Amino acid sequence: MSGPFSLENLEAVVRPHLKFLNAGDTLDPRQDLGEAGLDSMASIDLLLDLENHFGVSISDDDLTENSFLNLEEILKLLEASA
C-alpha cells in the first residue's frame, strides 16, 4: 500500500512507542504490539502521534480493545478515521 497510510509510514510512527523492540528488529504487520512493549499509557501517546502525523481525528467510538493490537489494526483505524 502506498500513500500516507502505508505500513512503512505507520511503522515509523509506532516504533518509538515499542519499548521492547530494538532498532534492528523487524516489525511484522501482525506482530502483537503489546508483546513489543506497547502498554496502555504508550497507547494514548501513540494515538496522539497518529492523529498529528497523519492529520486525522480518531473518534473514541472507533476505538476497540484491538485497535492497537498490531500494525494492520492501526491501519484499519486510520483508514476509518480519514
Residue 62 has pLDDT above 90, yes or no: yes
- pTM, two decimals, is 0.92
Measured distance CA(18)–CA(50) in Å, rounded: 14
Residue 25 has pLDDT above 90, yes or no: yes
Contacts of 13 (CB under 8 A, 6+ apart): 46, 49, 50, 53, 54
CATH code for the domain defined by 7-81: 1.10.1200.10
Question: What pLDDT, on the 0 to 100 scale, is given for residue 1?
Answer: 41
| Mean per-residue pLDDT, 33-48 | 96
Short-list 75, 21, 78, CA closest to 52: 78
